[in-house]
Chains A and B, each alone.
Chain A
Amino acid sequence: MNEWTNTGREPDPLPSFLPGPTAPGLGEPQAEVEETLKRIQSHKGVIGTMVVNAEGIPIRTTLDNSTTVQYAGLLHHLTMKAKSTVRDIDPQNDLTFLRIRSKKHEIMVAPDKEYLLIVIQNPCE
């Protein structure tokens, strides 16, 4: 049985497996996932959004299959490397966010114990 451990961020008001009408904004988890992803995707300049699990397999994406698989595999490795780099320098420290800026766009990775959220944005000035 998987035990859910607190990662140190702000604690949730309710355990997530009990969706109830008492917490505002907590609808069906499925709908909530959709809405959150849609909010991020519709932000200014965002080209694509994807969620990748701990093994590097994409779970949700707004891009086409081959591009998604490529991004997921490569960024998963890079995130693990970045995390181990930060931890090696200072064991009390940990990776919170990763941004890669390239000529054409910017890739943002929000890492977590189980998932990665990858957002690709085109910062056209």
Chain B
Amino acid sequence: MATRAQPGPLSQAGSAGVAAVATVGVASGPGPGRPGPLQDETLGVASVPSQWRAVQGIRGETKSCQTASIATANASAQARNHVDAQVQTEAPVPVSVQPPSQYDIPRLAAFLRRVEAVVIRELNKNWQSHAFDGFEVNWTEQQQMVSCLYTLGYPPAQAQGLHVTSISWNSTGSVVACAYGRLDHGDWSTLKSFVCAWNLDRRDLRPQQPSAVVEVPSAVLCLAFHPTQPSHVAGGLYSGEVLVWDLSRLEDPLLWRTGLTDDTHTDPVSQVLSVATDGKVLLWQGIGAGQLQLTEGFALVMQQLPRSTKLKKHPHGETEVGATAVAFSSFDPRLFILGTEGGFPLKCSLAAGEAALTRMPSSVPLRAPAQFTFSPHGGPIYSVSCSPFHRNLFLSAGTDGHVHLYSMLQAPPLTSLQLSLKYLFAVRWSPVRPLVFAAASGKGDVQLFDLQKSSQKPTVLIKQTQDESPVYCLEFNSQQTQLLAAGDAQGTVKVWQLSTEFTEQGPREAEDLDCLAAEVAT
């Protein structure tokens, strides 16, 4: 038997050597059935060299990687404890005087015995002392002149030629609102007009741009702010409606509205009192959803006016008396003075009980409020004002150019001053000086009267308009007492700063006012 073993021609190093394996064929004897010529033969091992390893070597590339540097920072956090707190002011609880049982009367008596002599001695000395004669202290800077602080106007209203018909200051004295309309149209007009308000305490006050504007479908004749709520204002329209707006709500300022007949004047107390030329005096109260509801009504009928003076006409039938101006007394909240078209002021009370003889339709029974009639002016009265310092005095101004000073105790006026040859549209007492009042005239000026200095001619004459167009309304600011606002026919509102002599009370003024009021003819 031959064995052949030969290594392959390309045997590699390292590769597994192909070992020749030889098997020895064993010549076996004749096996059972195996033919003799068939013999086993062993061949050499055939090795096949690997091809892929030769062709493709090991390729190597160098790569490196590195993590970016880790940025670290220190921060700390701490949970904070929150506490909510609210602050609210409450109306002060009235403290009352201690009743006698809670203190020791004998000790009080002893104390009084001790101090009485000292006190009486000091009182006597004071009464006779001349130490302080002519001694005056000035705490504030003296202002000598009256100057115009602001000139406010609303250009769209001025472009329509609207007049300023009414002005009001709000309860905090920082906002002045004016109503636009026309006072010389005799008929119904569908003129759209405006109510504008300027906040004088804001630093970015722009005189031609009011901080709140309300568009109103008809001319507004009169305006009044709520006495305690700083943003509620009521206005009476030419169409006879009374609307109440809330100026702090910018989207829909209208709060309440009502429907009426004829033009009105309003004067909010805490409800709204409206006065109209058809002779009705109505008291409205706001109820929930936007309606002003009539709570009480009064009607002025000629028949029922108290005959305390001789009125020139003796009317027949139930003619109504138109009311054009209203003023509440500062001392008695149920007492008010009405100025009428006939020129005579009426003293009225909210508590009147007698029913009115009128056939005017009304949802509430009408009563006759008039208690006393004063002697008339020569023409309709446009403005009435009650003195804040004396319970019996009031002023009235009318188209005859006169201002009458009345005392509620007698019918003829105490004095009558001729201020102007044209109409007088507004008269107001000063809130700080008992003897000062201001009047707005049809000649375009505002006259300030000081009854202490001169009762014949005005102390200061302020020219509001250059072309003598009339000044229709004026109001003192009761919080910032040196400000006076006046509105005229050119559609501008001017805020005047008064000189110090109009804003500080002198020492004897209240007594002088009392003397004036006491000149009642007996």
Residue numbers of A with Cβ under 8 A of B are: 4, 7, 9-10, 12, 16-17, 19, 29-30, 32-33, 36-37, 39-40, 43-46, 51, 53, 57-61, 65-66, 68-69, 96-97, 99, 101, 103-104, 106, 108, 110, 112, 114-115, 117, 119, 121, 123-125
Query: CB-CB contacts of B73-107 with A at 8 A, as 1s and 0s?
Result: 00000000000000000000011111010010111
Given the interface pairs A44-B123, A44-B127, A58-B97, the reply to whether A124 lies near B508 with Cβ below 8 Å is yes
Instruction: Please name 11 further chain A to chain B contacts, defined as beta carbons within 8 Å, in addition to the given A69-B95, A103-B507, A108-B122, sorted by A numbering.
Output: A36-B116, A51-B111, A53-B98, A57-B97, A59-B97, A68-B97, A103-B506, A108-B126, A115-B111, A123-B127, A124-B508
Contact A9 B110 (CB under 8 A): no
B438-484: which have CB < 8 Å to A?
none
* B479 to A: closest C-beta gap in Å: 19
CA–CA, A59 and B108, complex, Å: 10
Which one, A16, A39, A121, contacts B116 given CB within 8 A?
A: A39
Contact B132 A65 (CB under 8 A): no
Given the interface pairs A112-B114, A121-B126, A123-B126, the reply to whether A33 lies near B109 with Cβ below 8 Å is yes
Given the interface pairs A43-B123, A65-B97, the reply to whether A110 lies near B118 with Cβ below 8 Å is yes
CA–CA, A58 and B124, complex, Å: 25
Contact A29 B109 (CB under 8 A): yes
Query: CB-CB contacts of B382-398 with A at 8 A, as 1s and 0s?
Result: 00000000000000000
Chain B residues with a Cβ closer than 8 Å to the other chain, count:
38
- Point out the residues of chain A lying under 8 angstroms from B46, CB to CB: none
CA–CA, A115 and B116, complex, Å: 13
* B139 to A: closest C-beta gap in Å: 10
Given the interface pairs A29-B108, A33-B108, A46-B123, the reply to whether A66 lies near B94 with Cβ below 8 Å is yes
CA–CA, A60 and B104, complex, Å: 12
Contact B112 A33 (CB under 8 A): yes
Sample (15) of A-B pairs whose CB atoms are under 8 Å apart: A12-B110, A30-B100, A33-B108, A44-B127, A46-B123, A51-B111, A61-B97, A103-B506, A104-B510, A110-B115, A112-B114, A115-B111, A117-B111, A117-B115, A124-B508
- Point out the residues of chain A lying under 8 angstroms from B126, CB to CB: 45, 99, 106, 108, 121, 123
Contact A69 B119 (CB under 8 A): no
- Point out the residues of chain B lying under 8 angstroms from A59, CB to CB: 97-98, 100, 103, 108
Residue numbers of B with Cβ under 8 A of A are: 94-98, 100, 103, 105-116, 118-120, 122-124, 126-127, 129-130, 132-133, 136, 505-508, 510-511
Which one, B113, B122, B506, contacts A99 given CB within 8 A?
A: B122
CA–CA, A60 and B133, complex, Å: 33
Chain A: CB-nearest residue to B95? A69
* A115 to B: closest C-beta gap in Å: 5
CB-based A-B contact count at 8 angstroms: 118
Interface residue SS majority, chain B? helix
CA–CA, A60 and B103, complex, Å: 11
Given the interface pairs A4-B107, A16-B107, the reply to whether A57 lies near B95 with Cβ below 8 Å is yes
CA–CA, A68 and B130, complex, Å: 29
Contact B123 A119 (CB under 8 A): yes
Which one, A103, A106, A108, A123, contacts B119 given CB within 8 A?
A: A108
* B518 to A: closest C-beta gap in Å: 16
CA–CA, A77 and B114, complex, Å: 22
Contact B94 A112 (CB under 8 A): no
* A97 to B: closest C-beta gap in Å: 6
CA–CA, A64 and B63, complex, Å: 102
CA–CA, A106 and B131, complex, Å: 13
Contact A123 B109 (CB under 8 A): no
- Point out the residues of chain B lying under 8 angstroms from A37, CB to CB: 112
